[in-house]
């Protein structure tokens, strides 16, 4: 990887025990997570329904780590302020989720959060280029969004490589995050391609609380 950012681990709470969500967030924070990744799905933009701003607000006191909120919802603009007020530090959205992605980026920053742009496996990298100077994070989906536990889509490694080169040229401070099918086998390949933030659900929460620190350390050491 040509970028110099350290590897960050962002456990996806989608894979946690929802019956004790606050305790799970505390546990992964204590185990060394860098970001808390929150997958927000509306049953419309993606075929699943997860959580809303009230849950983010309830979880916020359980961790001081960065809340990395991925909005898989459409329309997106109506909910930006609510998620920012609830405690989201980073808000990522999909360019397909509204007619004016640049306006959405402005709204996220105005609400006090850092904007991120998420690319589905079928979304071309060209969607990103006009906006690269205005965002803090690029999220490459290495599965089709909607459900956890899916298999890594190999073609996304090339996309990560292309985006890494462009980031290094234009906006080196951007985090390049990959989400979907990240485990102990795919993590080294995603890092080699240029990612510096790994979203890992199943790979983090596998084995229960006693395994969280080991799982996170293994993922972080994948480089």
Tokens of 16: 């946690």
Is residue 92 annotated as involved in ligand binding? no
149 is in an annotated binding site: yes
Nearest Cα to 84, choosing from 110, 61, 119, 102?
110
Which helix (H) or strand (E) segment holds residue 54: the answer is: helix 53-59
Distance CA 99, CA 208 (A): 42
13 CB contacts (<8 Å, ≥6 apart)?
21, 24, 25, 28, 36, 37, 38, 39, 59, 201
The catalytically annotated residue of 34, 42, 136, 179 is 179
Residue 66 marked as a ligand binder: no
Is 70 a known ligand-binding residue? yes
The verdict on whether residue 63 carries a ligand-binding annotation is no
Q: Is 179 a residue of the active site?
A: yes
Q: Which of 17, 34, 39, 175 is catalytic?
A: 39
In the three-class reduction of DSSP (H, G, I as helix; E, B as strand; rest coil), residue 114 is classed as strand
Residue 202 is assigned to a ligand binding site: yes
77 is in an annotated binding site: no
What is the strand order of the sheet 137-141 is part of? Answer: 8-11, 197-200, 175-179, 137-141, 114-119, 90-93, 66-72, 35-41
- CA 72 centroid distance within chain: 11
Annotation-wise, does 30 bind a ligand? Answer: no
Alpha-carbon dihedral angle through residues 176, 10, 86, 56, given to the nearest 10 degrees: 140
Find out whether 37 is annotated in a ligand binding site.
yes
123 labelled as ligand-binding?
no
| Residue keyed to tokens 């004016």 | 100
Q: Give ∠ CA 177-178-179 in degrees, rounded to 5.
A: 125
Q: Is 221 annotated as a binding residue?
A: no
Can you say which residues are annotated as belonging to the binding site for a divalent metal cation?
A: 37, 39, 70, 179
Can you say which residues are annotated as belonging to the binding site?
A: 12, 37, 39, 70, 146-149, 179-181, 201-202
Instruction: Indicate which residues carry an active-site annotation.
Output: 39, 179
Can you say which residues are annotated as belonging to the binding site for substrate?
A: 12, 70, 146-149, 179-181, 201-202
């Amino acid at each position: 990887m040509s970028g110099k950012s350290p590897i960050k681990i962002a456990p996806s709470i989608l894979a946690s025990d929802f019956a004790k969500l606050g305790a799970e967030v505390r546990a992964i924070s204590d185990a060394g997570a860098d970001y808390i990744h929150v997958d927000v799905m509306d049953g419309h933009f993606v075929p699943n329904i997860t959580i809303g701003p009230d849950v983010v607000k309830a979880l916020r006191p359980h961790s001081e780590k960065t809340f990395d909120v991925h909005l898989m919802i459409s329309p997106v603009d109506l909910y930006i302020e609510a998620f920012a007020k609830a405690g989201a530090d980073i808000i990522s959205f999909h360019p397909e989720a509204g007619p004016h992605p640049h306006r959405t980026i402005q709204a996220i920053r105005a609400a006090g959060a850092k904007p991120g742009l998420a690319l589905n496996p079928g979304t071309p990298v060209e969607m990103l280029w006009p906006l690269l100077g205005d965002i803090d994070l690029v999220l490459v989906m290495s599965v089709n969004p909607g459900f956890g536990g899916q298999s890594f889509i190999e073609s996304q490694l090339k996309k990560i490589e292309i985006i890494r080169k462009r980031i290094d040229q234009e906006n080196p401070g951007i985090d390049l995050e990959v989400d979907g099918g990240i485990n102990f086998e795919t993590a080294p390949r995603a890092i080699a391609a240029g990612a510096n933030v790994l979203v890992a659900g199943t790979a983090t929460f596998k084995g229960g609380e006693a395994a969280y620190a080991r799982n996170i350390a293994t993922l972080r050491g994948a480089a």
